[in-house]
Amino acid sequence: MSPPSGQDLFWLPLSLEAQARDAFFVHYVAGTTTTWDFLRLYYSTSSSDHLALSIDAASLAYLSHEMHSEAALEIARKKYVSALRTTSKAVQSLDLVAEEPTLLASLVLDLFEKITIADSKHNGAWKSHVNGALALVRLRGLDNFQDPSALKVLVRLSTNFIITAIASGDPVPNELVTLRAYAGKQLHAVDPKWHLTDLMIHYANLRANILRGIISFDDYVRASLKLDSKLQSLSNEMPESWMYNTTILDHDSERIYERRFDSYTDRHVTQTWNVLRLIRILLNQSVLQYCLGSETSINETVPLLIQTTSDIIIAMARDICASVPQYVECKGIASTRHRPPPPPPIQEVTPSPEESNNTPGEPCHINSASRLLDIYTLIFSLYIVGGASHLTSFMKPWVTTQLHYIGEHYGIRNAELVARILEEGKEINPWSVYTLLGSYAFVA
């Protein structure tokens, strides 16, 4: 039996588990993102109990997140406990430990942890599943990952591992670097997102080293500037197909910051650019804080560093703001300029007051899952602009306005949550906010 496509799913079965599985496969496997399309063969109940239970747990957790269903979350947690127990038995079995379903179960259990937004610092399971998956790859041997589907599993593991390491403040082991080199060679991976992910390994290790006191502040500054230079080079070398078009308006617009917006080919290109930008903001902000608040052996360059890092932070923040209107503006020039029509098109209906948070009588929008994901990917980048640096504090009112609009107009509750975090002005580790948003469960 084939998994449903986004066009096939009109009526969900009555069973909550069946609803969840269909929603999960539409989003992750066959429709919106396809980043888990190696699970396609397991749409029907898997012969491996541990994988079937893991998919059930993650599916129900996803449905709970999307529908705000406590009932689905309660069942998901029970399925998760059963999946943990059966996966543990599989790992102890000589016959099952090296089988693909056991590796996939570990990855899906990790996805459950990210969907349910467990604490990245105080929950061992938040990291244990990717560590376990890497150990299973080691056991099988990289040479046994040859076909495209198996290589996609390695890519998924490497991406999840790197992001987990960053959010947890842990270094990325050399074994993971070797895995990426192998997968990259087999897949002939040369696109900008692949190169950016490689640079994210350097960022993860640099962050882990300073958090653990392994390197001095001076060495941290030098390494940060070197990494920032590499990120700048990557942006300068983007292929033409990854470039964006800039439009300058002759009038103000509530959804457009400083009359400028940029138009991108698609969400994946936009997200890659914005991840590059937000990492540059975080790197330069840490260098700036050091220059302003510490004695340093590089005193003679401090004034220039302060100016340079400040300019980069503001430029990257403005670029992020300019990426927002294409996806967030509902009607207007930014929503259509250089943008292919969304499949399926947005439909307009006039709801009853009980059915809508909008003003009664005004049209509301039924948006495709793909469009909602487009918008969701912007939330963390907007948070970085609004909260990572005092230099961009003048942008915060615009940022919080957009986040409130996303929450109210598109029904994305986490946008409202992030807006409130910014308005309260609390000092929060940015990667804790990333964890709060579900990490790569929704945006990678």
Q: What string of DSSP letters covers 56-77?
A: HHHHHHHHHHHHT-HHHHHHHH
| Residues 110-122 pLDDT 10s | 999 999 976 666 5
Say if residue 346's pLDDT is above 70.
no
Number of domains within the chain: 1
What band does 352 get if pLDDT is binned at 50, 70 and 90?
very low
The reply to whether 188 falls in a domain is no
Pick from 287, 293, 299, 298: nearest CA to 388:
287
Region 402-420 average pLDDT: 96
More confident residue, 88 or 122: 88
What is the Cα–Cα distance from 66 to 193, expressed in whole angstroms? Answer: 27
pLDDT at 183 over 90: yes
Closest CA to 430 of 391, 390, 380, 377: 380
Q: How many CA atoms lie within 13 A of 171 on its CB side?
A: 13
The CA distance from 150 to 14, in Å, is 34
For residues 279 and 380, is the Cβ–Cβ distance under 8 A? no
Q: What is the CA radius of gyration of the chain?
A: 22
Residue 359, pLDDT above cutoff 50? no
Cα 247 to Cα 259: distance, rounded to the nearest angstrom: 8
Quickly state the pLDDT bin for 427 (edges 50, 70, 90). confident
Average pLDDT over residues 251-267: 96
Residue 356, in any domain of the structure: yes
Query: CA of 311: how far to CAs of 293, 304, 305, 390, 391, in Å?
Result: 19, 11, 10, 13, 9
48-87: b or e for each residue (b if 16 or more CB lie within 10 Å)? Answer: bbbbbbbbbbbbbbbbbbbeebeebbebbbebbebbbebb
Average pLDDT over residues 191-216: 97
Report which DSSP code applies to 171: P
- Bridge partners for 260 per DSSP: 248
Residue 229 placed within a domain:
no
pLDDT of residue 354: 35
Tell me what the mean pLDDT of segment 150-176 comes to: 96
Report pLDDT digits (tens) over 280-320.
Answer: 999 999 999 888 876 556 666 788 899 999 999 999 999 99
Q: Is residue 77 within 8 Å of 112, Cβ to Cβ?
A: no
Domain extent for 300: 16-155+242-443
Q: Is residue 375 part of a domain?
A: yes
In a domain, 50, yes or no: yes
pLDDT over 90 for what percent of the chain?
Answer: 72
- Joined together, the tokens standing for residue 356 give 């809508």
User: How does residue 348 score in pLDDT terms, banded at 50, 70 and 90?
Assistant: very low
In this structure, the number of other CB atoms found within 10 A of the CB of residue 88 comes to: 12
Residue 318 counted as domain residue = yes
